[in-house]
Amino acid sequence: MPRPRKVDLLPEAVRRELDERLRQSGFSGYKALSEWLAGQGYQISHAAIHDYGKKLKAYGEKMRQAREVASVWIGRLGAEPQGQVGQLVNEILRTLAFDLSLTLGEAELDPDDIPAAARTLKDLAVMMEKLERAANLNAEREAEIRRQTAEELAEKAEAAAGGGAIAPEKLRQLIREAYGVE
């Protein structure tokens, strides 16, 4: 495991105050923040605060992007068929799995941590297999629903035509009814 940074060892209340001051300063003024911490009894260099601020800012940016994406998808879900929800969940989990694998790849592992990392990779592989199986099942269900709807529509059109041609307006009406479109 990597050694904890001095900032990580600060008491929770002091670290929250540091986080707030970093945000308020626009992630600048590290020397002043170092001096403020020294006044609180903590000796942390402005370089260490700068590194912590960069990570905090990057984390905040990821959170902002995640909220934006979630907002867009939540807005779309009302107008999309139910199958899209499953596809969205699959895509979110794939993204999380990819991010986790990148994080593991960048980490320097202590020999004692290798068994835990191996279990995490195994769990990740099992999760991806289940996701792919679920995605295939969703696609099969959607195809089956479309096939059944098309068969029902064809039967209704034949019945409405009575052995002859069907009027275009009657066909449009049957299609609207089959697909629940007003």
Q: Is residue 88 part of a domain?
A: no
Q: Is residue 65 part of a domain?
A: yes
Q: Is residue 16 part of a domain?
A: yes
Q: Is residue 164 part of a domain?
A: no
Residue 44's φ and ψ, nearest 5 degrees, are: -130, 130
Q: Is residue 17 part of a domain?
A: yes
Q: Is residue 18 part of a domain?
A: yes
Q: Is residue 165 part of a domain?
A: no
- What CA–CA distance (Å, rounded) separates 122 from 104? 13
- Residue 10 sits in which domain range? 1-79
Q: Could you give the C-alpha distances from 136 to 85, 89, 92, 93, 130, in angstroms and in order?
A: 14, 14, 16, 15, 10
Q: What domain count does the chain have?
A: 1
Ordered per-residue pLDDT tens for the chain, 182 residues? 567 788 888 898 999 899 999 989 888 888 899 999 999 999 999 899 999 999 888 888 887 787 777 667 666 654 444 455 556 666 676 676 676 666 666 666 667 777 777 787 678 778 777 877 887 888 888 889 888 888 888 888 888 877 778 888 888 888 888 777 66
* AA letter at 21: R
pTM of the model: 0.43
User: To 5 degrees, how large is the angle CA 15–CA 20–CA 26?
Assistant: 125
